[in-house]
Amino acid sequence: MSVFGSLQPREYVTSIYHIHLERLWQNGMRGIITDLDNTLVEWNSPHATEKLIAWLLHVQKLGFRICILSNNDALRVSNFARLVEIPALHKARKPRRRSFYTALQLLKTTREETAMIGDQLFTDILGGNRMGLYTILVEPIHPQEFAGTRLVRVAEKLILRGKKPNMAQAEYFSFDVSGVAKEGEEFHS
């Protein structure tokens, strides 16, 4: 795979809620490795939204094994992981392979049956592609982020060359005000 190719995600969607989980399952995916900051929640946010918690429960209900893989520090990642009751690895040093191998061992899945979800090309997507994972790029949740990440976003825009997330793909996951998840329904907010 070329350097440019290793930075290209298999899918590019607006958010985790736009990922067609049922299709991933049908295509043999059994594990999900996900980034934390600006993928699941805003950068350094200690709070999980009700919608995120419902999505994580839905992911597990479908049968997926899931873990968080973050370059952030131990305190940040472990506190959030405890909150949502999902295993997590901190200071991952993505895109290095070692943390991805550890995540696969934690999930007990193979590369071919694992997806990597994240908001950054040079960490999440590059690392996932180097490992042979199914990579899904999401748009950052919020513009506030680590200073170094803001610089990398300039290069990401050049690499994506005007590509936009699949706007035809509606939200596949929603939940009503009582917090009950609605499986597989298209949802337009």
pLDDT tens profile 158-175:
888 877 777 555 566 665
Q: What is the pLDDT of residues 82-94, one digit of tens each?
A: 999 999 999 999 9
In a domain, 183, yes or no: no
In a domain, 186, yes or no: no
d(CA 165, CA 94): 23
Domain tally, the chain? 1
Q: What is the pLDDT of residues 129-157, one digit of tens each?
A: 999 999 999 999 987 777 777 778 788 88
Higher pLDDT, 70 or 181: 70
> Which run of H or E residues covers position 148?
helix 147-160
In a domain, 151, yes or no: yes
In a domain, 153, yes or no: yes
In a domain, 187, yes or no: no
**Polymer length in residues for the chain:** 189
d(CA 70, CA 139): 16
d(CA 141, CA 40): 8
- Tell me the CATH number at 174: 3.40.50.1000
In a domain, 49, yes or no: yes
Closest CA relative to residue 69, chosen from 60, 61, 80, 58: 80
In a domain, 133, yes or no: yes
d(CA 30, CA 151): 34
Closest CA relative to residue 140, chosen from 16, 32, 57: 16
pLDDT of the residue at 167: 56
pLDDT of the residue at 58: 94
Supply the range of the domain harboring residue 24.
10-178
Give yes or no for residue 184 having a pLDDT over 60: no
Contact 119, 126 (CB under 8 A): no
Contact 89, 119 (CB under 8 A): no
Give yes or no for residue 189 having a pLDDT over 80: no
Query: Tokens 């040079």 label which residue?
Result: 122
In a domain, 3, yes or no: no
Task: Name the pTM for this structure.
Answer: 0.86
